[in-house]
């Protein structure tokens, strides 16, 4: 995701270093979403959901989490 964003920004004429563009994407897109999911997990902790997440990770399938499919 980050490399695709960096390539897109460079194609649009952004002359900043790649690391700076990647950091911007992480700070403005990835990190806020990560915090949102972590807060949801903290508020809705469930042992059953943990087991479901583990099996989804191993099996490579999607599950419903925080009202969205992840």
- Out of 17-21, 34-38, 53-57, 61-65, least confident range: 61-65
Confidence class for position 70, pLDDT limits 50, 70, 90? low
| Domain range for 14 | 2-69
Q: Is 65 a residue whose pLDDT tops 90?
A: no
Number of domains in the chain: 1
Residue whose C-alpha is closest to residue 68's, from 29, 33, 27: 33
Q: What is the mean pLDDT of residues 5-29?
A: 96
SS3 content of the chain, % helix, strand, coil (to 5): 70, 5, 25
Tell me what the mean pLDDT of segment 12-18 comes to: 96
């Amino acid at each position: 995701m980050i490399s695709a964003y960096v390539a897109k920004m460079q194609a649009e004429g952004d002359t900043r270093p790649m690391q700076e563009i990647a950091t911007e994407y992480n700070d403005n897109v990835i990190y806020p979403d990560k915090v949102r999911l972590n807060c949801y997990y903290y508020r809705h902790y469930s042992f059953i959901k943990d087991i479901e997440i583990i099996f989804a990770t191993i099996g490579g399938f999607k599950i419903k989490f925080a009202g969205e499919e992840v």
